[in-house]
Each structure stands twice: as C-alpha cells, then as structure tokens.
Structure 1
C-alpha cells in the first residue's frame, strides 16, 4: 500500500491509537511473584512523528528501566528515561520512552534493574537485565512514497502476522497497521502481550505500528 508523503504524518496522527498502559505484574498470581525477572515484551515502536518516535517495554516485575541509543561501535550515545513532571518513572513494569529527535535509523537497547523494595528512604535493587541490540528504521518525511502493510481481522491467528508478509521480508515497509479485530475479545493484559505484542515482535522492534480499534477490541473486561 502506497501513501503520498504529504499524507504520511497526517495518517499516523489521525489513525494511530497507542496501546493502553498495561501493568502485567499486578495481575500475576502470588505463586509467580518470585519468578524470573525478564522482559515480557522487549520493545515495540509507536507514535512516529516527523522527528520522533516512542518505544515501549514490558517487564515481568517492577523495575527501573531506561533506553540507550548506541553508536555503530556499540557505545552509549544517549540515555533516555521516562519522566513526568520532573520525576523519573520507576517501580513499575511498563515503560514508555519518547525520543524527541530520533534519527531515521538508529541502534538501541533497553536496560532494567529489578526493584525488590521501594521504601521512602530505601530502595533495594535486584538483578540487572538488558535486551539485545535492536535497529530501528523510520520513514523520512521527504520520501516520495511510503509503504505500509495492513492487517485486518486477524482474530488471534498469531502466525498470520508473519505468514501474510510477502516473501517474509519486512524491509520494504515503513510501518504496519492493525486495522481492527486483532482479538476475539480482551479480558486481561496477557491477552495483549501473548496474542499481539509477542507475535509482532519480529517487526515491532524496528518498525512502528498503528493500532486501530475494531468492534472486537471493545469486547471483554479489559477492553
């Protein structure tokens, strides 16, 4: 699907729906509380603008996390934290990093420290983890054409996200669109991670996606 470049940013702004803030660890059973500290969803890209992009990550436990932009040699060029009203976000399992001036191609990774105790005057950290290094590739505003791939009515057929890509090659596409009814219904956070975010990880770590709500996304207790 081709878009005139003048319409590209308007399409992203008008059609895009950012996935809701999801807190996976809060719903875990008590017997899972001592499980492994890990990334449930290492990274996914959304909210691309002419200059910026957002990168999200979801962890299995409350943590303190940050994003590192790397140079070609793997050295840290810039660290980005999630902050609001001057306070850096921590002690949560969901992080949203905003890169205001994102290069059109850049390498990045996300690091996290498990927060075992968060008292007013004492914070106890646990294990440190990090993702692999990803490479984001974003469309330029002066491209003559923009290409995207649109998914309709996937209805939890998770293999379809990969199978429907011609030649299994994501390189020609600048972004992806979930155009409604990715689910039958949504009853908890795990539905989103297991039925959408993990199956699209193969492109969502490098290319942004837009989520449009279908009638089935309005069904279920977590809609």
Structure 2
C-alpha cells in the first residue's frame, strides 16, 4: 500500500467566477425552465451556436445517448448511420411533442446493432418565434461528424479510466489524459467532486464539458456525484447535464467480464447540519440505495460476472469518521463482504492509496488522490475473462502501484 497526505480543506480558497446562464431542464424527462421566463423571440444580437460538442452517455449493446448544449431554444435531432452518409434520424420527443423548451439536448438512439460502429452528427434549428398558432424557425447548425461503437455482448475485455476530485481545475483533465498516452480505453468514469460547489451553467461548460470534449464525443463519459456536487445554488440543476443508466444517480452496468455498481454517497455531513437549513435527506437516500444494492447483488448477471467492481465517491474505510463515511460503512460495507465484490474504487480523501485485502475488507481497495498538482491520480482498469488489473498513476506519469487479481468464477 502506498498513500500520500494532502489536506482536504485547504484547497477551498478560491471562488468561481462567471455570469449565470439561463437555466434549463434536462434530457429525456423534460422539466420546466428553472428561474427563467421563456421568451417568444430570441435576442437578435446573439448568434445561434453550440455551447458544447456532443457528448456520449449510458452506452449499451443496442443504444447510445447523445447530449449537447445550445445557446438558444431549438428543434434538435441526431442523424446517424453505419456509414458517413448517415441515413437515419432521431429526435427527443415526449407524449408526441418534440422538445422545444430546453437548451440541454438529449437524444437516445435506440434499436442499434450490437458491436457496431456508427457515425453521427447533431443538428439544432433555431426557433425565432413561438406563438400558439405560428412557429417561425431560423438557421440550422450542425456539428462535425463523429463516431461511436455499441457494446459487444460477447466482449471478453474492457478498459476504462477513472478520475476523481478535480475540484474546478479544468486543466487536470488534459494533464491526466496525457498520462494514458495512446493506450486504448472504452470509457472514462468521473468519480465525484469535479467542482468545489455548483454555481452556474458556465462553470459546468468551462470546467467539465469542454475539457472532457477531448474524448467524450467518441468515448462515453460516465459520472457519479461527489459530496461537493451536492452543494451550491446550482447543485439541483447540475443533475440535468448528464444522463446515467435509467436516468438515475446510482446504477449498474455490465461491460465485458465486469459487472459494475455505482453508488451515490451523498454528503459527508449529517442531514441536520446547519449549513443545509433542513433542505437535504441523504440518510434516507443511502438507505434506499442499500436496499437496491442487495437486489442487484442477487441477480444472475452479478453472480455470473467474472469480476464485480464498485465505484463511489466516499470510501467507507481508509477514510475519516464523518457521518457520510460511517453511514456508508454501516449500510454498504456488510453487503460488499456478503456478496463478495472484487474491487472497490473511491476518491474523496485527497490521499491516494492502494490497499490489499485484509481483515477489514476481503477485496482490493483503491482511493484516488487530488486535487493539487503532485497529488492528482489517473486510475486505469483492465479486465479480461481471467484477470482484473488496476494501475494507479501519479500526475507525473509514475506508477503508484497496481493490483492484479485472477477471477474466482
């Protein structure tokens, strides 16, 4: 085991600047505009443009979800196909109406072929005027041509990268990706605390979506909140900017020989802490997840998987004794032992560490570091039908340590 100490509190010395953008609702379930009155006419002095490149979410063997942001309300769609000529079209629709009331666009492509490469472009057509019996449309903008591949149900290998505790340091994404070099990966998992707290849409674009565009238009981006994503005036709106499996903050997915479980550990403070003024209920939320977790661990897919991996932000061991940590230990720890997970991956402590199985836990246990230069980490995980391997790399490219675990199934 190796670890390095770094204060979890000292880094919170800066403020996040930026003009609050118009706040809109999310993806597949279309909600009302947040804190913004819808205008019938666009501003003539603002050009129609994309605020982000498209980014991939929640991949399966026969579907892919694509998200992107525009600066104006639009009619939006995706054109896609197995060749660069595309040929198919998909739009976001609810109860027969195409979505026109959000700039956060989310289109799920369904009924795709497994293990198949698809090309795609996203399109947004400007809504100039929206009256009860008259809609005036304007310019259509389109993205570059991108591609993705659906999952192979017979895949015998999977590779992914894990980052955690970036804390509003957008340059860290590029710095850590460089460490991986040209080694292949199937997706990137962000294990919480990408921000200090949630301020506005501009912060999400500048500090997350734009730096992640180096990969996220062709490789899926998977996410779980950390405790810092539950803080700030925009924390509830932030949930609209990504789309997890089943549109949930906690979820499972199977990729090749790995059955992965993602848990949302919530805040590290008690619900009745005065900073929340009675506005949170994370204790009940973790209880809910514990019931769901055991149900997932009883499934045939979990039992038959070559490897079982849990990823969540707050580690229940090798951490502090704060409320969130002890609740995760009480609720989740016994289930990890009872149902025999193989690997646990967390962040939160800002102390990187690799812990072999011991009396406290029968599985390998990894905690990524961050957020300061010299303590940032990139975790790389590879699994095939025989072996699970984890490497943790420091931000200078040096190897902190590794696990190699043969399958027991």
Which interval holds the TM-score relative to the shorter structure? 0.7 to 0.9
Residue of structure 1 in register with 2:277 after alignment? none
Conservation of the 8 A alpha-carbon contact between 2:86 and 2:119: no
| 1:69 paired to 2:74 | no
Please report how far the alpha carbon of residue 71 of structure 1 lies from its aligned counterpart in structure 2 after TM superposition. Answer: 4.4
Q: Does 1:122 align with 2:134?
A: yes
Instruction: Decide whether the 8 Å contact of 1:149 with 1:175 is kept in 2.
Output: yes
- Of residues 210-219 and 137-146 in structure 1, the stretch that sits farther from structure 2 once superposed is 137-146
- State which structure, 1 or 2, has the greater radius of gyration over its C-alpha atoms: 2
Equivalent position to 2:67, from 56, 62, 68: 56
- Displacement after TM superposition at 1:50 (Å): 2.9
State the match for 2:106 in structure 1. 96
SS of 1:42's equivalent in the other structure is coil
| Cα distance in 2 for residues equivalent to 1:38 and 1:164 | 29
RMSD: 2.4
CA distance in 2, matches of 1:133, 1:164: 26
CA 1:69 to 1:208, structure 2 compared with 1: closer, same or farther past 3 Å? same
Moved over 3 A (4+): 22-27, 166-171
Normalising by structure 1, we get a TM-score of 0.81
Structure-1 residue corresponding to 2:152: 140
- Deviation of residue 65 (structure 1)? 1.0
Aligned to 1:203: 215
| C-alpha spacing 1:42/1:165, structure 2 compared with 1 (3 Å) | closer
SS of structure 1 residue aligned to 2:214: helix
Give 1:95 deviation, angstroms: 1.4
TM-score (norm 2): 0.45
User: Is the CA contact (8 Å cut-off) linking 1:64 and 1:91 kept in structure 2?
Assistant: no
The answer for the alignment partner of 1:162 in structure 2 is 174
Report Cα offsets for 1:141-174 as digits up to 9, x if no partner: 2211111100011112112112212556466111
Comparing 135-144 with 110-119, greater Cα deviation is found at 135-144
Residues paired across the two proteins, number: 199
Task: Please identify which structure carries the higher strand content.
Answer: 1
| Residue segments in structure 1 that go unaligned for 5+ positions in a row | 1-19
Report the alpha carbon displacement of residue 192 of structure 1 after superposing the two structures with TM.
1.2
Equivalent-residue separation in structure 1 for 2:158 and 2:106 (angstroms): 26
Aligned residues of 2:126 and 2:140 also touching (Cα < 8 A): yes
The answer as to whether partners of 2:198 and 2:232 remain within 8 angstroms in 1 is yes
- Among 21, 27, 43, the alignment partner of 2:26 is 21
